[in-house]
Amino acid sequence: MTQTESAEKRPLTILLAAPRGFCAGVDRAIQIVERALTKYGAPVYVRHEIVHNKFVVDNLRAKGAVFVEELDEIPDDGQPVIFSAHGVPKQVPADAAAREMFYIDATCPLVSKVHREAERHFKNGRQLILIGHRGHPEVIGTMGQLPCGAVVLVETLDDVTTLQVRDENNLAYCTQTTLSVDDTADIVAALKERFPTIEGPHKEDICYATTNRQGAVKAIATRADALIVIGAPNSSNSNRLVEVGANGGCKKSMLVQRAADIDWAWVDDDIHTLGLTAGASAPEVLVEEVIAAAKQRFDVTVEEVTITQENVVFKVPGILAAE
């Protein structure tokens, strides 16, 4: 590239949010699939996408992972079946056991914590209110820990107003781990106002990674003219980052799966500072890919904005631990 070509590029500052990308639960789930492939050979079956990221899923598929939605798609060949990081209803491992399947649970430990909370409240006779998004695998898994009808789903503030419960003085709530921190706080406040005796979790259900990634976006949103979030369209935590950016002051926010999906005309002449982050299921290589693509078009300066350091690690199941 000549100096003249370089000079024609307009300046663009990229504010790189940190923390971003893989969380401990996602890293553990991917390790489980990779170690199972190494130990048992292909195929290894995975019920639902192990995490919500096409790049990750395609890489694992290339190594021999076979992704299915239901157990009845899996032949009785003795190969392992892995349950995704989002968690599954209790009926799924029960059905796997009935078929004498060899299964390994990759549910994120922080999702498992919510499952245990739900079971504790049910055992104590409380009706459970779950704050979450209908149809999301994590919500299906959490509701599936208890008998049908034991859990009431709340998605919005309006749902709190119209909520019908058995006993207003015998309630508890849990939340999906990947929700908007601010929106969830508003819903919890509304629940507590309407049902003053409602019990909550001992510790916040929204996971540390979701909280940190949203905090990092808030830290750059006031300075950024626009925000790009790298993540899958079915990734709850990634979609929440887009919303946090928009609510935090970015004139426009966009979710993309990878650099090839970006219409660079979107980064118009009014955008001098671009925020960039990645959802908890998106690998860092996709962040590097977007930065490289930006450098082909702009005179890029990258500034990393770090709000905290993460050092959380979750162990893989003992059967897959290194010998």
Question: Hey, which residues are catalytic here?
Answer: 138
Q: Taking Cα atoms as reference points, which of 258, 260, 87 lies closest to residue 178?
A: 87
How far, CA to CA in Å, does 9 sit from each of 6, 32, 121, 123, 190?
Answer: 6, 44, 59, 64, 50
Using left for φ > 0, alpha for ψ between -120 and 50, and beta otherwise, residue 65 falls in: beta
In sequence order, the 6+-apart residues with CB closer than 8 A to the CB of 79 are: 40, 43, 44, 45, 102
Task: Give 240's DSSP letter.
Answer: H
Polymer length in residues for the chain: 323
Q: Give the integer Cα–Cα distance in Å for 306 and 88.
A: 34
Place of tokens 């890919």: 289
Other beta carbons within 10 angstroms of residue 250's beta carbon come to 25
Q: Give the integer Cα–Cα distance in Å for 169 and 166.
A: 9
Q: Give the integer Cα–Cα distance in Å for 168 and 181.
A: 25
CA dihedral 108, 155, 252, 298 (to 10 degrees): 10
Q: Give the integer Cα–Cα distance in Å for 77 and 254.
A: 43
Place of tokens 């959802």: 279
